[in-house]
Amino acid sequence: MKIYPAIDIRDGKCVRLMQGELQRSTEYGDPIEMAKRWEDEGAYYLHVVDLDAAFSGSFVNQDIITKLVQSIKIPVQMGGGVRTKEDIRVRLDDAGISRVILGTAAVENPELVKWAVARYKDRIAVGIDAKEGRVAIKGWAENSNIDPVSLAKDMHKMGVANIIYTDISKDGMMEGPNLDKTEMIVKETWMNLIASGGISSLDDIRKVRETGACGCIVGRALYDGAFTLQDAMKAAK
């Protein structure tokens, strides 16, 4: 199982939110320096979220993210505000992102998902963000009536290979991940699932690995020094 250090970008800074709320954020400095740090510490892949784009739909951090990608040798997957063909093209073809994550678009525009998978294959992932058992959209600001497992099955039928599953109630709270739902999605779809939200200990990482997930995104626990990246990677093996 791969460990993906998380870099969330807001107003050009690396931040961590609690439960996706902008007013509950902590700054951790320059995102480019943070990317270099995780690469130096042995990361194989980075998970970047453009929070400004997620909430506004505008790719205002394009320059910073392009520089971030160019400053390291490891691949970057990125989400936040990816809602049109042009959004996808700019990130994959211009900015050099290795994989983009469709969130709101997967719910509101399935035809876009089909187009993206046909053109970019496994460079397309779908982010399923759940709040109170339902899929949340538009930067987690709105709830839909869609069940996360049902959405994962629909995406699988469209040819999507990679899912990033986040339980928003757990995100940034250091209370442990939602293991039951993670395992349910893995077992019912057999997709490549990357789990996100709530990782607080090395034991949490081991438990995520046992669900059958192929990856685990870690944010606040790394930034707050709960464990090192090397220790996280050992726990994931």
pLDDT of 96-130, one tens digit each?
999 999 988 888 999 999 999 999 999 999 999 88
Which is catalytic among the residues 87, 129, 167, 171? 129
Note if 231 is an active site residue. no
- Tell me which of 20-34, 147-161, 165-179 is least confident: 165-179
- Tell me which of 102-106, 141-145, 162-166 is least confident: 141-145
Which is catalytic among the residues 8, 50, 52, 204? 8
Helix (H, G, I), strand (E, B) or coil at 101: strand
pLDDT score at 177? 84
In whole angstroms, give the CA distance from residue 184 to residue 212.
Answer: 10
* Enclosing domain of residue 116: 2-236
Note if 129 is an active site residue. yes
Helix (H) or strand (E) run with residue 161 in it: none
Averaged pLDDT for residues 187-196: 94
- The CATH number of whichever domain residue 49 belongs to comes to 3.20.20.70
Decide which of 172 and 163 is more confident. Answer: 163
Decide which of 35 and 108 is more confident. Answer: 35
**Token digits of residue 199:** 């990782």
pLDDT score at 16? 78
In whole angstroms, give the CA distance from residue 185 to residue 153.
Answer: 8
SS3 content of the chain, % helix, strand, coil (to 5): 40, 25, 30
Structural domain total, the chain: 1
Helix (H) or strand (E) run with residue 113 in it: helix 110-120
